[in-house]
Amino acid sequence: MKSAVLVIDVQSALFDPEPKPFESDMVVKKINKVTHWARNNSLPVIFIQHEQLNSILEFECDGWQLQSGLELEVTDIKVRKTTPDSFLNTELKVVLNAHQIEHLIICGYASEFCIDTTVRRAAGLGYSTELVSDAHTTHDKPHASGNEIRMHHNCTLPNISSFGVKITTTPTDALI
């Protein structure tokens, strides 16, 4: 089964200002380990960037740029999106089909929004998914900390079996 790595919304406006997402520096380091491993194994690395007009995430503005700690290569692919769903009105499915991808390895931001939505949509489209359990994050919320939100999604998403494909969680070191 051919795999690809999706790095979702690790962008300057979301990672650089205070307060930062939970364990943001560690998450970026883990993502770099995953993408380095993927490239060494000839797996496509796809960076997905959220954008919204008249906001800190407006296309090509400073905040829209990928977070400066990420390690990129010229072979990496970039996909733009405007909703929490990395597939909706984007070229992601076309890119995955062109590379004959069947399995997605997912990391990035925000656990409860874009990560959750993309994992569920991917499974609904027939892609087995592997959420890198220590390489996704979010900000603290009034109802739960970033750590609690990440743990919740690490425990909840793998229990969804109705899509007919597996959703798993794997820590970075076990993946690579």
Task: Answer for the pair 138, 21: CB distance below 8 angstroms, yes or no.
Answer: yes
Looking at every residue in the chain, the average pLDDT score rounds to 98
Cα–Cα distance, 31 to 135 (Å, whole number): 6
pLDDT tens digits for range 147-161: 999 999 999 999 999
Instruction: State the pTM of this model.
Output: 0.98
Q: Running DSSP on this structure, what letter comes out for residue 112?
A: I
- β-strand partners of 50: 81
pLDDT at 1: 84
Mean pLDDT per 10-residue interval, the chain, length 176 residues: 96 97 98 98 98 97 98 98 98 98 98 98 98 98 98 97 97 96
pLDDT at 125: 98
